[in-house]
């Protein structure tokens, strides 16, 4: 339903969302959440800090209120769900990630660095998702990587953790990056605050570099 998409997207953009997409995720959702076949994907052009998580959660509340008022069911997946120890959310996150909603909605693809890449903002969006049974018109899914002839992150990763494979819907993005190597390197480069540090594969990506506002450190590669 185009008007439903338009109304919610306008609202979220007016409240600060950078990009908003709608996806058909019926092929992915299973079990307890199988009835929630559509997803609203929200991207914010900020590093995933505590403040970013707060902003994304506020935007998710706007979505859930919008859906509740219209009688639809929904489930908001926390922006930082990969780090939550809560059992239900952990199980859910294994079945569903924000990257799936974002690629299915056509907002971008998974780059050779294993991160979500938007053509305009590159790997510099923090994502959140709301699953729902509302009849949103889905965008055209992107099903393979569009990095083209760029291999910058592969060439310059100091840990040699990024292989040259292209992502596709049939290839799990976990295969793209040797997470163990990346983590070992990042741990060896801890900041003064004790946090693991690198992020070169985010900062070097040519997509969205012109509008780079801040230097990124790697939040995750999973």
The residues of the shown chain that bind ligand SF4, judged by CB under 6 A, are: 111-113, 117, 147, 150-153, 157-159, 161-162, 177, 182, 185-186, 198-201, 204-207, 218, 221
Q: Which is nearer to ligand SF4, 62 or 165 (CB)?
A: 165
Whose Cβ is closer to ligand SF4: residue 102's or residue 200's? 200
Report, in Å, the least distance between residue 32 CB and ligand SF4. 33
Closest approach of Cβ 155 to ligand SF4, in Å?
9
- Quote the least distance from Cβ 166 to ligand SF4, whole Å: 9
Name the H helices within the chain. Answer: 2-14, 50-69, 87-95, 98-104, 152-156, 179-188, 200-203
- Give the tokens for residue 151: 């291999």
If the CB atoms of residues 117 and 142 are measured against ligand SF4, the closer one turns out to be 117
Residue nearest to ligand SF4 (CB): 111
Q: Are strands 116-117 and 19-24 parallel, antiparallel or unpaired?
A: unpaired
User: Please, which residue, 98 or 112, has the CB nearer to ligand SF4?
Assistant: 112
| CB nearer to ligand SF4: pick between 33 and 146 | 146
CA 59-119-14 angle, 5° bins: 30
Q: Are 126 and 162 in contact (CB under 8 A)?
A: no
What is the four-CA torsion angle of 126, 131, 134, 138, rounded to 10 degrees? 60
**Beta-bridge mates of residue 128:** 42
């Amino acid at each position: 339903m185009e008007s439903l998409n338009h109304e919610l997207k306008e609202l979220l953009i007016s409240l600060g969302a950078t990009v908003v997409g709608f996806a058909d995720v019926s092929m992915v959702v299973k079990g307890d959440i199988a009835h929630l076949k559509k997803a609203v994907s929200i991207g914010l052009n900020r590093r995933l800090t505590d403040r970013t998580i707060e902003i994304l959660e506020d935007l998710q509340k706007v979505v859930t209120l919008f859906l509740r008022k219209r009688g639809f069911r929904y489930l908001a997946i926390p922006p930082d769900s990969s780090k939550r120890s809560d059992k239900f959310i952990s199980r859910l996150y294994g079945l569903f990630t924000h990257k799936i909603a974002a690629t299915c909605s056509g907002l971008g693809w998974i780059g050779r660095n294993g991160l979500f890449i938007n053509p305009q903002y590159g790997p510099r969006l923090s994502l959140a998702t709301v699953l729902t049974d509302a009849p949103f018109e889905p965008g055209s899914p992107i099903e393979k990587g569009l990095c083209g002839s760029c291999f910058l992150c592969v060439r310059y990763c100091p840990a040699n953790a990024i292989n040259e494979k292209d992502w596709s819907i049939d290839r799990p993005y976990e295969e793209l990056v040797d997470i163990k190597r990346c983590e070992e390197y990042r741990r060896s480069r801890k900041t003064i605050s004790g946090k693991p540090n690198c992020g070169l594969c985010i900062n070097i990506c040519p997509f969205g570099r012109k509008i780079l506002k801040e230097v990124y450190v790697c939040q995750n590669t999973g």
